[in-house]
Amino acid sequence: MSDFIANFQETLAYVGVLMPSLLTGAWYTVKLFVVTLVLSLPLGLPFALGGNSRFWIFRFVCKTYIWIFRGTPLILQLFFFYFFIPISMGIRFSAFTTAAITFVLNYAAYFAEIYRGGINSIDHGQYEAAHSLGLSKSQTMFGIILPQTMKCVLPPVSNEAIVLIKDTALVSVMGVAELMKASTSAVNRDVNPSAYLVAAVIYLIFTFLLTLLSNFLERRFSMYDARGEW
């Protein structure tokens, strides 16, 4: 029993030494998550609308973009922007900026499909009712259809946000000092897997907080819907 207590105390001391570097890595993870979410959420909307456009050129461009970014692995896209673009075009960004650009473009494609599915789920009778009231197409879309769409797409968008916090671990292959990179460096240096356990706990905390936020937003939207305010 005394050996167990001693080992436990030693592990806690080691974790205390690890925490500064892991928390720094967690900060990079949060930064990449926030940048991706803030930029990709609005960027997905024009591609969703373009995918439903009556103009074939807009529809073709938007659907092709979505097809490419949803049809290829995210890690391959990271390598493409990090290695191919600088070599072929001479355009080079920092590893973090490259990761942010790749993540934004990738997740915008997924959000675009989520938005498009939400828009298409709205009953067509609402378009006809808006037209009979003399509303223009833009007024119908932005005043009636999209507000209802946002409520419909909240669960899948929340799920993608949870996936995003885990996908940030992929940028460790580019040398970005996020949480996974920090824990891997500690394991390689000290030959002690405890850093992976601590990183797993931090990821679980992030996903738990996102789940709580998602549940709160869903309850709020449901409450508005029940009151007839939406």
Q: What's the mean per-residue pLDDT of the chain?
A: 87
Given a cut of 80, whether residue 120 has pLDDT beyond it is yes
Q: For the chain, how long is the longest CA-to-CA vector?
A: 81
Given a cut of 50, whether residue 230 has pLDDT beyond it is no
Helices (H), the chain: 2-51, 56-71, 74-79, 85-89, 95-121, 124-132, 137-140, 146-167, 179-190, 194-227
Indicate the pLDDT class of residue 4, thresholds 50, 70 and 90: low
Indicate the pLDDT class of residue 171, thresholds 50, 70 and 90: very high
Give the dihedral sign, CA 153/168/40/66.
negative
**pLDDT: which is higher, 90 or 2:** 90
CATH number at residue 33: 1.10.3720.10
Q: Into how many domains does the chain fold?
A: 1
pLDDT mean over 182-206: 90
Q: What confidence score (pLDDT) does residue 208 get?
A: 95
The boundaries of the domain holding residue 106 are: 2-227
User: Which residues, including other chains, have CB under 8 Å from residue 179's CB and lie 6 or more apart?
Assistant: 22, 25, 26, 28, 29, 168, 169, 199, 202, 203
Q: Could you report the per-residue pLDDT of 149-158, keeping only the tens digit for each? A: 777 888 899 9
